[in-house]
Structure 1
């Protein structure tokens, strides 16, 4: 749906979701890795909203084609939002969370950031992050 009005409303909505994620993180003081994973998904969401907004306004972001701008919006909505939330909910259900869960959780929380940096600046970082 290619509408700047819709995407601006969506951007505001995703911003409010991120504020909720920041509030959750602040109230807990960062404790609970599974909850931090959920919070990271909530905090990443407005990046997807921002990229969608840029796409609908046909903004030139760096030297990215419109298709890359749209795919970046999709990337942040799915891999950066849904996967950390799914992982956090899985962590809530696990009876025993060991070192493997902690390592995978940290990778899940940090990989969207590294993938974005890699796509923007370094193919080596991108390949490593993916």
Structure 2
């Protein structure tokens, strides 16, 4: 390897090391900026995602996804010779139907709350009673 390429490679690795150390230094000295989080300020798209999540939790999506699971299963079992594209589409519909049903199935099996709904209780420290 020529000498000038070694020098350029060495200078690039030194710059990368300096940039990494600068980012680390900022995150250690200014944690408010590095780990910016404010529970009261929501991102602009969170309201839309919340509405979308609520629309996937009712009885109609449950029934549609149940029909989708049964239909996809029947197609895969009794479909005979289907093309690779059609088989991929069936698997995509099956996965989406299972994802829609996931919360309902978990709640039927005894799960009551998601991790985002819970508050973590720290029992031995009275000053830090709730950490969320």
TM-score (ref. length: structure 2): 0.34
More helix by share: 1
Q: Indicate the structure (1 or 2) with the bigger Cα radius of gyration.
A: 2
Higher relative contact order (CA 8 A, sep 6+): 1
